[in-house]
Amino acid sequence: NGYYFSVWATCFHSSRDFSDMVFVDNYIFNKDVFIQFNSTVGEYVGYTELGVHNAERLNKDPNQLQRERAEVET
């Protein structure tokens, strides 16, 4: 019905030993990132009003943060 939602997760690294690996998990609505988890930051960051609200909610959940932080190891 004209709405677009996707999740884009990727790892970035610049060396062969993967010691500098960064995991980024983007949540996209209508082609705009509204919330992002970055393993360097270690928590969710909201970029829209909806994203800020959800980032605050997700950052209060230690289990969710632990799952996301562990993704860089997998």
Residue-level pLDDT at 49: 93
Q: Give residue 19's Cα distance to chain centre.
A: 19
What's the maximum distance between 2 C-alpha atoms anywhere in the chain? 45
Residue type, 46: G
> What is the residue extent of each domain of the chain?
5-73
Q: Which residue has the tokens 């009003």?
A: 49
| 5-48 pLDDT, tens digit each | 999 999 888 877 777 788 999 999 988 999 999 998 999 999 99
**5-73: which CATH topology?**
3.10.320
Q: In 3D, which of 58, 36, 39 has the Cα closest to residue 47?
A: 36
**Token pair listed for 28:** 């996209």
Q: Alpha-carbon distance 39 to 57, whole Å? A: 18
